[in-house]
Amino acid sequence: MTTTKVFLDMFLVLQLLLLLLLLRGAAADDSRVPAVIVFGDSTADTGNNNFIQTLLRGNYTPYGRDFAGGVATGRFSNGRLAADFVSQGLGLPPAVPAYLDPGHSIHQLASGVSFASAGSGFDDITAQIFSAVTLTQQIEHFKEYKEKLRRELGGAAANHTVASSLYLFSVGGSDYLGNYLLFPVRRYRFTLLEYEAYLVGAAEAAVRAVYALGARRVRLPGLPPLGCLPLQRTVNLAAPGDCNRWHNMVARRFNRGLRAMASRLSRELPGAQVVYVDVYRLLADVIATPWAYGFEDAVRGCCGTGYFETGVLCSLDNALTCRDADKYVFFDAVHPSQRAYKIIADAIVHAASHRPE
């Protein structure tokens, strides 16, 4: 073998290696998530309710006290929400801006946006009870967002963002807590099983609506153990201080329907990845063994007495609020603390990094 042929063979091998590296890089770029797009309720509202006429706002202390600069942004927690941590975990900005905030340009919203509104639900009646933005209207806002993206980035770039983004629905708790179990608005029309089917159908309709608008990667976190929220323990007359087993059963039943629906849509919708995220099992374990996750209290919220305060009641009892929210699973009597949201976000990011079977 001549020296020239050896050099030619080595050159061809190097070219082949370079081509493989380029192809791998291109594949990595294709899989990168350009934005996190969020729909939901107070567990995902990053400030939208600050700009509508509603009593459900979190733009006052002690909310946001551990957010950057200690600003009460409207998030119902001491700091960031799961959606914020999901964004950061995917290499995007550490906070997802609120769509209705006029201080955010479409350029800022291009890498992530929350349409969520505290008090909203899969059932639009839920949002109307609390004067929140309905899920139907949130999807209309998404349509507006798409058009703004097209004008700002151009058609091709906007279509890429819409098709490759991660879509997160963090919603459902208000439907049961504010519309059926605690306040029986829908109980006069639906049996529990009928309402469960109605909500799963509404969730499916929402997923199909964003799919029709270009969404492909959808994540559906299930309900948490509703009966173990501090407020639910407080109003549990049958066993004061304990988790409400019936309400937990309701959450588990709904989650089974949500999981089955997500799996079915992944098969039916071409190119769709609709993935259920088991928040119930995760938070149930955190609540049962808080010390294993670095928490000290999973029964009370950090705010006020920790048993019933949420929203404006947290503001009234600000003097009683705990010093270190990181020790608490819940910040108020309904909403998780920033540390608990980080744990939920890790589960969502893990689900986002694996293509469903």
DSSP state of 336: B
- Say whether 111 is catalytic: no
- Say whether 335 is catalytic: yes
pLDDT at 3 over 60: no
pLDDT band, very low/low/confident/very high, at 23 (cuts 50, 70, 90):
very low
State the helix-helix crossing angle for 135-153 and 192-212, rounded to 10 degrees. Answer: 10
Q: Of 66-75, 166-175, 285-294, where does mean pLDDT reach its minimum? A: 66-75
> Using H for helix, E for strand and C for coil, what is the string for 127-188?
HHHCCCCCHHHHHHHHHHHHHHHHHHHCHHHHHHHHHHCEEEEECCHHHHHHHHHCCCCHHH
Who contacts 272 (Cβ-Cβ below 8 Å, separation ≥6)?
Answer: 211, 216, 218, 265, 266
Which listed residue (45, 101, 117, 335) is catalytic? 335
Residue 175 — left, alpha, or beta (φ > 0 → left; ψ -120 to 50 → alpha)?
Answer: alpha
- Say whether 332 is catalytic: yes
pLDDT band, very low/low/confident/very high, at 357 (cuts 50, 70, 90):
very low
pLDDT at 320 over 90: no
Which listed residue (42, 87, 165, 266) is catalytic? 42
State the helix-helix crossing angle for 279-288 and 338-352, rounded to 10 degrees. Answer: 140
pLDDT band, very low/low/confident/very high, at 354 (cuts 50, 70, 90):
low
pLDDT at 159 over 50: yes
Who contacts 101 (Cβ-Cβ below 8 Å, separation ≥6)?
Answer: 47, 48, 50, 51
pLDDT at 18 over 70: no
Which carries the bigger pLDDT value, residue 74 or residue 357?
A: 74
Inter-residue contact 243 to 261 (CB < 8 Å): no
Which carries the bigger pLDDT value, residue 6 or residue 244?
A: 244
Which listed residue (41, 45, 123, 332) is catalytic? 332
pLDDT band, very low/low/confident/very high, at 69 (cuts 50, 70, 90):
confident
Stretch 233-256: mean pLDDT: 96
pLDDT value at residue 315: 87
pLDDT value at residue 8: 43
State the helix-helix crossing angle for 155-164 and 135-153, rounded to 10 degrees. Answer: 140
pLDDT value at residue 2: 58
pTM value is 0.90
Q: Of 74-78, 103-107, 208-212, 308-312, where does mean pLDDT reach its minimum? A: 308-312
pLDDT band, very low/low/confident/very high, at 31 (cuts 50, 70, 90):
low
Residue spans of beta strands (DSSP E) within the chain: 36-40, 112-114, 166-170, 217-221, 273-277, 297-301, 328-330
pLDDT at 15 over 90: no
pLDDT band, very low/low/confident/very high, at 22 (cuts 50, 70, 90):
very low
pLDDT band, very low/low/confident/very high, at 156 (cuts 50, 70, 90):
very high
pLDDT value at residue 183: 85
Amino acid occupying residue 353: S
Q: What stretch of H or E contains 14?
A: helix 3-31
Exposed/middle/buried for residue 30 (C-beta within 10 Å: 0-12, 13-18, 19+): exposed
CA-CA distance, 243 to 250, in Å (whole number)? 13
- Domain boundaries defined on the chain: 32-351
Amino acid occupying residue 92: L
Closest CA to 77 of 279, 347, 345: 345
Inter-residue contact 166 to 90 (CB < 8 Å): yes
Angle at 112 between CA 109 and CA 115, to 5 degrees: 85
Task: Phi first, then psi: give them for residue 211, nearest 5 degrees.
Answer: -60, -45
Give the architecture-level CATH label for domain 32-351.
3-Layer(aba) Sandwich (3.40)
- Write out pLDDT tens, residues 177-210: 999 998 889 999 999 999 999 999 999 999 999 9
CA-CA distance, 252 to 162, in Å (whole number)? 32
pLDDT at 10 over 80: no
